[in-house]
Amino acid sequence: MKKILDIITEEVTKAFASCGYDEAYGRVTLSNRPDLCEYQCNGALQAAKEYKKAPFMIADEVADKLKENKMFSSVESVKPGFLNLKAEEHFLADYLNEMREDGERFGCDKTKEQKTVMIDYGGPNVAKPLHVGHLRSAIIGESIKRMGRFMGHNMIGDVHLGDWGLQMGLIITELRQRQPELVYFDENYAGEYPKEPPFTIAQLEEIYPTASSKSKEDEAYKEAAMEATYELQQGRAGYQALLSHILNVSVTDLKKNYENLNVSFDLWKGESDAQPFIPDMVEKMKAEGYAYISEGALVVDVKEEGDTKEIPPCMILKSDGASLYNTTDLATIVWRMRDYHPHEIIYVVDKRQELYFTQVFRCAKKTGLVEPDTKLKFLGFGTMNGKDGKPFKTREGGVMRLETLVSEINQEMYKKIRENNTMEEEEAKETARIVALSAIKYGDLSNQASKDYIFDVERFTSFEGNTGPYILYTIVRIKSILAKYKASGKKAEDTKIRPAGGDSEKSLMLEISKFNSAMENAFEEIAPHKICAYIYDLANAFNRFYHETKILTEEDENVQAGYICLLELTKGILEKCIDILGFSAPERM
Ligand code: ARG
């Protein structure tokens, strides 16, 4: 469906043309003085120069033309040369009814140029607990994936596990000290390895930090861990078997955690999956003259003309021949291109890694790992801080684990819901979980991703203001009205939305009509916060309408049925948007 602004622009364009002016001057925007009008066109001010006429004269002529137009209830030419417009109520109602007829898409067309877009997000590290730093990547990445899907793109989400590094050697070393008798450590063992892992997730999560702190104090221990890492990477069978246990146990736990966040990945690939692609890639970079030895290491220059700051070379192999985080990211691009041939890869990673990704992207372009028009995009996010403005911590000052954060917000929500409601314990718990997730996700997504933000538990969990719970509260309110209407035995199925009868109803309708343009724009700019801003405005417009209108006691059944249609559309759009943001609404709260 055409965007409402485009439809209006077309009319104004025609009017400019029929008055003898270039139609390019007819561009209409939303009004920045909503107290005066709904839409505006400033074209006459620009046309004045070309036609050497006073702008208000041009505006007057165009306004005269538009006065007969059925699309507008008011057209005003305002000095020095603005055109102030208001949509005609029937036109607006027709537009909304067409949106309703478009089912689940609400008038937002799928793209005509479908792209394959991979998104690299989540990025948890195996065997290390998820902490709040990983939360942002998961929340933002998931919503971008859903936005893209809604727009009709082929979105492929990859978790890109951190499963290739010293942490594996550390775990193996610690395990070996504790249980040297395990077959995994017997180099002469030739049988099959046990199917059952030699540890639980809880043990694994204790083993890693213990090993990590030991290695910081004990040089020999660290050596052993490095040696184990090396042997693992060289393919030592017992260690490989342990690696798959670590992976299995860890991934099962990660999946559970992500599921609780309503986050899911199409691919569960990790850094280790990139390793087989390294040798050929390195050979090619050398053979084609891109990579050279500098101070013992193999590097590729990635400086470019016009750089305002120093961009150091991208290191491909360390002087001992070991691969690095870079090498893995480059080799990951190799298999992504080979298997999926994406038009674009988006990386949702902490913004402190920006320089690093600049190097990786330039290196990939320069050495031909991707095509010249493949887009590599870094979406860096800021830090989630506590109220003190410092990175979010536990009360004791430690690193906040994701599970802890989620369960604290759940409890907070549970208390609130219990205070407000007479629900059974089970329902209250489930409702608290749903509402808490909206508080966490909306709290995050409503900020521009690149900015740091303060995770303010009290504010985020509030039912009022620009919060997830407020949006859910609005949806629940609509659900409750619709349920009561239905219970009264009435039906609004064959009716339509009627031309607005008052101010607040019209404001609501105007907000609704922006849906397709808001969605398109949010995806183009990869900006979930724009969807949040849209639904916040929509929810506010609805609540104002609700407070000013007697919906259930309206005596004129036709008028009432029209309201019901409007409510259904509002609810449908709000629900679609929160689904794209990655959360849902309860039945009541
Ligand atoms: N595992 C990394 C971390 O915890 C994030 C991975 C980001 N993605 C990437 N392709 N490097 O910091």
Q: Tens digits of per-residue pLDDT, 24-41?
A: 999 999 999 999 999 999
Q: Answer with the one of 60, 87, 114 that is the final residue of a domain.
A: 87
Q: Answer with the one of 225, 260, 295 that is the final residue of a domain.
A: 260
pLDDT digits (tens, 9 = 90+) for 181-195: 999 999 999 999 999
The answer to whether residue 82 is domain-embedded is yes
φ and ψ at residue 272, rounded to 5 degrees: -65, -30
Residue in this structure with the two tokens 């070393």, named with its chain if needed: 173
* Ligand 1 pocket, CB under 6 A: 120, 123, 125, 160, 162, 329, 347, 349
| Residue 573 to residues 142, 250, 371, Cα–Cα distance (Å) | 19, 37, 38
What is the torsional sign of CA 555, 557, 562, 568?
Answer: positive
Supply the pLDDT for residue 376. 98
Distance (Å) from CA 325 to ligand 1 centroid: 9
C-beta of residue 477 within 8 angstroms of C-beta of residue 464: no
- Token pair of 296 as six digits: 């013992």
* Atom 12, ligand 1: residue with shortest CA distance: 123
* Atom 10, ligand 1: residue with shortest CA distance: 329
pLDDT digits (tens, 9 = 90+) for 418-453: 988 788 999 999 999 999 999 999 999 999 999 999
Supply the pLDDT for residue 130. 83
The residue whose CB lies within 8 Å of the most ligand 1 atoms, and thus the one to mutate among 134, 140, 163, 353, is 353
The residue whose CB lies within 8 Å of the most ligand 1 atoms, and thus the one to mutate among 135, 158, 160, is 160
* Atom 6, ligand 1: residue with shortest CA distance: 123
Atom in ligand 1 nearest the alpha carbon of residue 329: 10
The answer to whether residue 60 is domain-embedded is yes
C-beta of residue 87 within 8 angstroms of C-beta of residue 28: no
Supply the pLDDT for residue 396. 76
The residue whose CB lies within 8 Å of the most ligand 1 atoms, and thus the one to mutate among 125, 164, 369, 399, is 125
Q: Which of 60-74, 120-134, 207-221, 494-508 has the lowest mean pLDDT?
A: 120-134
Residue 356 has pLDDT above 90, yes or no: yes
The answer to whether residue 181 is domain-embedded is yes
How far the first Cα of the chain sits from its last, in Å, is: 35
Distance CA 23, CA 9 (A): 10
Q: Answer with the one of 260, 285, 304 that is the final residue of a domain.
A: 260
Residue in this structure with the two tokens 């849209």, named with its chain if needed: 534
Residue 160 gets the label, from left (phi > 0), alpha (psi -120 to 50) or beta, of: left
* Atom 3, ligand 1: residue with shortest CA distance: 123
Residue 306 gets the label, from left (phi > 0), alpha (psi -120 to 50) or beta, of: left
For residue 112, count other CB atoms closer than 10 A to its CB. Answer: 6
Nearest partner of 179 among 254, 240, 238, judged by Cα: 238
* Atom 11, ligand 1: residue with shortest CA distance: 329
Distance CA 418, CA 509 (A): 35
Residue 491 has pLDDT above 90, yes or no: no
Distance CA 167, CA 189 (A): 24
Supply the pLDDT for residue 322. 82
The answer to whether residue 63 is domain-embedded is yes
The answer to whether residue 37 is domain-embedded is yes
Per the structure, how many domains does the chain have? 2
Domain range holding 202? 166-260
Distance (Å) from CA 10 to ligand 1 centroid: 47
CATH number assigned to the domain comprising residue 22 = 3.30.1360.70
For residue 502, count other CB atoms closer than 10 A to its CB. Answer: 10
C-beta of residue 137 within 8 angstroms of C-beta of residue 196: no
- Token pair of 207 as six digits: 């083993």
The answer to whether residue 183 is domain-embedded is yes
Contacts of 290 (CB under 8 A, 6+ apart): 300, 366, 367
pLDDT digits (tens, 9 = 90+) for 318-332: 988 888 899 999 999
pLDDT digits (tens, 9 = 90+) for 118-164: 999 999 998 887 888 789 999 999 999 999 999 999 999 999 999 98
Residue in this structure with the two tokens 């736990």, named with its chain if needed: 253
* 265-292 as b/e: b if 16+ CB within 10 A: bebbbbbbbbbebbeebbeebbeeebbe
Supply the pLDDT for residue 165. 84
Atom in ligand 1 nearest the alpha carbon of residue 162: 1
The answer to whether residue 83 is domain-embedded is yes
Distance (Å) from CA 123 to ligand 1 centroid: 5
Atom in ligand 1 nearest the alpha carbon of residue 357: 11
The answer to whether residue 18 is domain-embedded is yes
Distance (Å) from CA 47 to ligand 1 centroid: 52
Distance (Å) from CA 358 to ligand 1 centroid: 14
At 125, which amino acid appears?
N
